[in-house]
Chains A and B, each alone.
Chain A
Amino acid sequence: MTLVGWLQISLTLLAVLLAVKPLGLYMNRVFAGERTFLSPVFRPVEWAFYKAAGIDEKREQNWLGYTFGVLLFSVAGFVSLYAVLRFQAVLPLNPQGFPAVAPDLAFNTAVSFVTNTNWQSYGGETTMSHFSQMAGLTVHNFLSGATGIAIAVALSRAFVRSHMTTLGNFWVDMTRATLYVLLPLAVIVALVFVAMGMPQTLDASVTATTLEGVKQVISTGPVASQEAIKQLGTNGGGFFNVNAAHPFENPNAFSNYLGVFAMLVVSSAMVYTFGQMTGNRRQGWALLSAMGILLIIGIGAVYWAETSGNPILTHLGIDPIQGNMEGKEIRFGQSGSALYTAVTTGLSNGGVNTMHASLTPLGGLVPMFLIQLGEVLPGGVGSGLYGMVVFAILAVFVAGLMVGRTPELLGKKIESREMKYAMLAVLVLPLAILGFSALAAILPVGLAGLLNKGPHGLSEILYAYSSAAGNNGSAFAGLTANSPWYNTTLGIAMLLGRFAYIVPVLAIAGSLVAKQKVPASSGTFPTDTPLFVGLLVGIIIILGGLQYFPALALGPIVEHFLMLAGQTF
């Protein structure tokens, strides 16, 4: 670890911190339906959408209506995307002449993009036509992100309102999230990316002559536009197979930091918006602090583990000063790689600029564990916030009792209904991650996809299902996931991780919105203090640790001890 490395990390995070307040305030205005400086441009478009779809923007929905909207929209998105992929061969903008995508892969990919996972069982530049990338995948990069934001907004409203049943209108929230938040940001970020040298073209490839005089065909396409929303919407689905390690997808150190900034900014600002909406800005900062502390610990752990390097190589006489550089890009270095790795998994982004399988065992443990914690650091756009609120509900319930009152979060009493739904949501991840991993670890179909044996192989399986259920999408390369077994089970894990979580969250919102807001007193357990932040961090680590420690012990942890003993996989 170097001072310069930490400085680069700090400056990137500081830039996010500075953007949190203005963007958070702006989003608060957007979702309150107030006028913003973009209204003159987007208001007519918004109005036209409602008119065309026959939506009365004043009419709000209760939690069931809202949930129904989310599910209906997602199903429609899945069906249309599945159709685009299956009919790719006959659709336009297919200069390479790619054939239709196979049914299991199309299922997996459609689910993946609708659930904001962007798990890629395929290689983008060798499977997807430009039409599929632009009209299929990129569209869902916007819409799945906007869906997450809408749900978070609905949950925030539940803390503001008393004795009500309605949470807002899903169609309105989703439209506004797309038009006013994601679209303008994506345009700006895409233009900056282009300025940094990222391609944005409808050509299929360029032909270069190498120094040896050999002609080389290099794939290209509309990269910058997809890259911008890939980061802003915490999608992570790269244009190229190697994602942000590809020079076209992440040309230099600066684009790397801008990518990290773009990943973090909306999710973080969403937390500020939560504080602003609920009338307790300190609560927003408290949640953001808990996220920040865990994220920085994660970045530090990866950075430390990677710069510590591999003792086996040191024994062989290799200079340990570089640390472990396998699978890393020299243009990002250790700090740029550690930052990207922790952020992409702390968020539910899933883009990678480093091959996670090549990380040291402990360095690889961190991203896996961050995903398993539920991706709340600060998580996917919207989904990070509502995931964190579920954790806050658990923390407040356990610890709140210790002050001798029925636990309250922002003046809303946490009782058996909220507890029931919160536990349902909490159960989803271990069930999907551990359940499918255990099956894959004993079934021949599962074992067939493994490249490596021993604990590293187990890590590959665990990582894949963690990534899918957590709607992350990053891969611990080494697992051949494009098989019917993995495409199907990973698809199911993605669906569970997204929708089996969203429904209880909206049910919690429905229950809270009907409750009276209790005024705070000195007997109320304060949830916006450093003490609460510490408690929340503790609950997240202990709950996560308790669920996954046995599995991790058999994967990366034992691999670490074996590496120290001189054995690798």
Chain B
Amino acid sequence: MSSKAKSISLFDGAILAQALKGSIFKLDPRQLVRNPVIFVTEVVAAVVTLLWVRDLLSGSGTPLFSGQIAAWLWFTVIFATFSEAIAEGRGKAQADSLKRTKSDLVAKRLKAANGTDYEAIPATSLKLGDIILVEAGDLIPGDGEIIEGVASVNESAITGESAPVIRESGGDRSAVTGGTQLLSDWLKIRITTKPGETFVDRMIALIEGAERQKTPNEIALSILLSGLTLVFLIAVVTLSGLAAYSGTIMTVTVLAALLVTLIPTTIGGLLSAIGIAGMDRLIRFNVIATSGRAVEAAGDVDTLLLDKTGTITFGNRMATEFIPVDGIAEDELANAALQASLSDETAEGRSIVALAQADYGLSDNVLKGKEASFIPFAAQTRISGVDIGSRQIRKGAVDAILKFAGLSKETAPQSFQKAVDSIARTGGTPLGVAENGRLLGVIHLKDVVKPDIKERFAALRAMGIKTVMVTGDNPVTAAAIASEAGVDDFMAEATPEQKLAYIRKEQEGGRLIAMCGDGTNDAPALAQADVGVAMQSGTQAAREAGNMVDLDSSPTKLIEIVEIGKQILMTRGSLTTFSIANDVAKYFAIIPALFVATYPQLTALNIMGLHSPQSAILSAVIFNALIIIALIPLALKGVPYRPVGASALLRRNLLVYGLGGLAVPFIGIKAIDLIVAALHLV
């Protein structure tokens, strides 16, 4: 899935420099208090620094040791803020390019809605309901609804897609976005959002993380981490009393080192980076979520409502087979169908030409040099075709073709009737072909299911997600396509009300629903769904109702959105497990070091064979700080999600992050201890 995403190098130089600066600003305790674990670390670091200064001034104690502990405690805090800054930095780079599209826009405000007189005003002073004129070459100054005109618009500034799109008044394509450029014609637009609240403004705010609020799961996890911090605070503070009983006077520096290594600084430091990076991953998939809550909900989704057209099938009926009536050669039918379709520019027509060329080796210049006049499709006759001299070739709806051939249902050849029935049964559309009153056969038009979609649905099923196909087709057609695509359920002849009812019913059963849509009539369902993805090409109403906007307008993206949601939760869980498991090794480093002076026998617990008590404590603190830096890439990229079912996923992650979390610090602390001892740092 990464192949499709726009990628920013993990450690882009400019972003790194920005992030370093940002990580210093984030040390402000008033900001840091939102992250209790790191806040405690900062307080402890400040205390140890004071003690170091006291040691220096009084010339007593061990300033070399306490100085280094203080430094590494500060590094722990800075690494944590740095991880957040770097996650934000990656978003900022994108926000900056958006901001450029916004600057210095000029609006042409019409003095009267039906006139052409306008005054040029800065886009920032546009008000809700203003009518503006936009002409070819202009940048559209704000979000709005087209009230008059048709034009092509380049929306690459927000979608990254350079092909222009058509926007027109009325219908589902009447919304325009500020910052996009009009390529042709002119439009009259009614402004529908206040300045500062336009789509681009919201995007910038979201990307920059200014509007970032903790998501429900993040809050719950923060509570767990704060609770653990309190537990360890109790353990460490009371330890000084128990140690005093045993005849060991513990210095505050040592207690501080113990506390910071025990509290879950690893996950605490990376928690907000994980959330920001998750939003960022969505943005690189060209999806803008209006809230982190929705992204998280995506991970919990149980049911996906997918539109058939464009998601499951290619969206156009395509010719897949030519079935001649008895006595007609297949080639003759194919040839006739080809000639009748050569000038047919509809997708169906083109697919007939393509099939004739591919499967029957026919050439599309059969008409070259002949006098041919094309008969376009008309709603009254429901047939189209070509006249070549006296030959009249027609294709069209079955009953219309029968009429053209002078036949009726009863008088039609049995083989024709059989072919028509079998096509209808499988959900296809039969198209009759006739030449001069002679019935040639039937073209099988079929909604073609995308080639890899069945595997994707199987993967979703393994993830425990049910797929429901929504289509306006009749139940027979819908059932045929549903079984071919391998969806779990389908909704035929679906109306917006039915969709809404279906979502409500599923939600009452405790399920979370995701859907995508683009039309105004989709808006209620989009709003009701737990994850509603609106297409950027859709109406303003749809975009307002959903909690995500897909800039590429690709409905299959729901699947990626779900995966990203899951990745965020998995990354949090894995790093939490890792962080807690780390503590076991830290105990074996620090506890014998603390009490070895009183009880030399406790050396037995120094199973890592660390050099000296001070180097053991320092090594544990250094490991604790460096592990944050080492895990930043994982926090930003996320733990990879595999659609293998919860049990297999859990087994794998427990093995990697649980057992790994137990083992890694033993190796890491020992290695650091060797270096500390070799450099005579203490």
List the interface of chain A (C-beta within 8 A of B): 162, 394, 397-406, 411, 414-416, 418-420, 423-424, 426-427, 430-431, 434-435, 437-439, 441-442, 447, 455, 457-458, 516-519, 521-526, 529, 531, 535, 538, 542, 545-551, 553-554, 557-558, 561-562, 564-565
Contacts and interface: CB of A to CB of B under 8 A. Distances in A.
Interface stretch (B226-234, B469-477, B545-553): B226-234
Summarize B's interface: helix, strand, loop or mixed. Answer: helix
B241 A542 contact: no
A493 to B, nearest CB: 13
Contact of B224 (A397, A435, A538, A554): A397
A545 B584 CA distance: 9
Which of the four size classes fits the interface of chain B?
35 or more
Interface in B239-297: 239-246, 258, 262, 296
B657 interface: yes
A551 B236 CA distance: 9
A516 B509 CA distance: 8
A426 B224 CA distance: 10
Contact of B572 (A401, A526, A564): A401
B219 interface: yes
Contacts of B224: 394, 397-398, 419, 423
Nearest to B591: A553
Interface string B646-657: 110111011001
Contact of A438 (B242, B594, B658): B242
Given A397-B220, A401-B217, A406 B238 contact: no
Nearest to B507: A516
B300 interface: yes
Contacts of A397: 220-221, 224
Contacts of B237: 438
Given A404-B570, A554-B242, A561 B601 contact: yes
Contact of A549 (B219, B565, B591, B650): B591
A547 B240 CA distance: 14
Contact of B646 (A403, A416, A562): A403
Contacts of A526: 646-647
List of 3 A-B pairs having minimum Cβ-Cβ separation, nearest first: A523-B464, A401-B573, A404-B566
A403 B649 contact: yes
Interface stretch (B26-34, B154-162, B387-395, B575-583): B575-583
Interface in B564-608: 565-567, 569-570, 572-574, 576-577, 580-581, 583-584, 587, 591, 594-595, 599, 601-602, 604-605
B220 A399 contact: no
B216 interface: yes
B611 interface: no
Nearest to A447: B245
A554 B246 contact: yes
Nearest to A413: B300
Given A455-B246, A522-B646, A525-B650, A564 B601 contact: yes
Nearest to A412: B510
A453 to B, nearest CB: 10
Interface in B319-375: none
A434 B241 CA distance: 9
Given A434-B235, A438-B242, A546 B262 contact: yes
A244 B546 CA distance: 68
Interface in B178-224: 216-217, 219-221, 223-224
B557 interface: no
Given A399-B650, A550-B239, A553-B591, A404 B577 contact: no
Interface string B106-118: 0000000000000
A553 B606 CA distance: 12
Given A398-B577, A399-B650, A522-B462, A416 B223 contact: yes
B653 A434 contact: no
Given A434-B235, A522-B464, A401 B651 contact: no
A441 B601 contact: no
B299 interface: yes
B447 interface: no
Nearest to B599: A558
B654 A399 contact: yes
B566 to A, nearest CB: 3
B223 A419 contact: yes
B463 A523 contact: yes
B234 A435 contact: yes
Contacts of B573: 398-403
B654 A406 contact: no
B516 interface: no
B46 to A, nearest CB: 24
Given A546-B587, A547-B235, A406 B245 contact: no
A549 B463 CA distance: 40
Nearest to B224: A419
A442 B465 CA distance: 59
B645 interface: yes
Given A399-B577, A458-B242, A416 B227 contact: no
B504 interface: no
A218 to B, nearest CB: 40
B88 interface: no
Contacts of B245: 441-442, 447, 457-458, 554
A558 B234 contact: no
Contacts of A439: 241
Given A404-B649, A406-B296, A526-B646, A546 B576 contact: no
A550 B591 contact: yes
B199 to A, nearest CB: 29
Most A CB atoms within 10 A — which of B238, B300, B466?
B238
Given A162-B510, A437-B241, A522-B646, 5 more contacts: A419-B221, A518-B510, A542-B581, A550-B591, A554-B245
Contact of B569 (A404, A420, A447, A455): A404
A394 B228 CA distance: 11
Given A441-B242, A518-B511, A406 B300 contact: yes
Contacts of B647: 526, 529, 531
A420 B651 CA distance: 27
B550 to A, nearest CB: 21
Contact of B243 (A401, A427, A554, A564): A554
Contacts of A545: 584
Given A405-B566, A518-B510, A562 B595 contact: no
Contacts of B234: 427, 430-431, 434-435, 547
A562 B599 contact: yes
A400 B299 CA distance: 12
A561 B599 contact: yes
Between A442, A516, A546, A564, the greatest number of chain B beta carbons within 10 A of the residue's beta carbon is seen for: A546
B638 to A, nearest CB: 10
27 contacts: A397-B224, A398-B224, A401-B217, A402-B573, A403-B566, A403-B650, A404-B641, A405-B300, A414-B220, A415-B216, A416-B223, A423-B227, A423-B228, A435-B234, A437-B242, A441-B241, A441-B242, A457-B245, A521-B302, A521-B465, A522-B646, A523-B464, A523-B645, A542-B581, A547-B231, A557-B602, A558-B595
B438 interface: no
A414 to B, nearest CB: 7
Given A401-B576, A423-B224, A438-B240, A522 B645 contact: yes
A529 B646 CA distance: 12
Contact of A561 (B239, B604, B646, B657): B604
A437 B577 CA distance: 30
B637 interface: no
Contact of A430 (B226, B231, B572): B231
A553 B464 contact: no
A405 B226 CA distance: 22
Contacts of A423: 223-224, 226-228, 230
B580 A542 contact: yes
B454 interface: no
A395 to B, nearest CB: 10
A561 B466 CA distance: 59
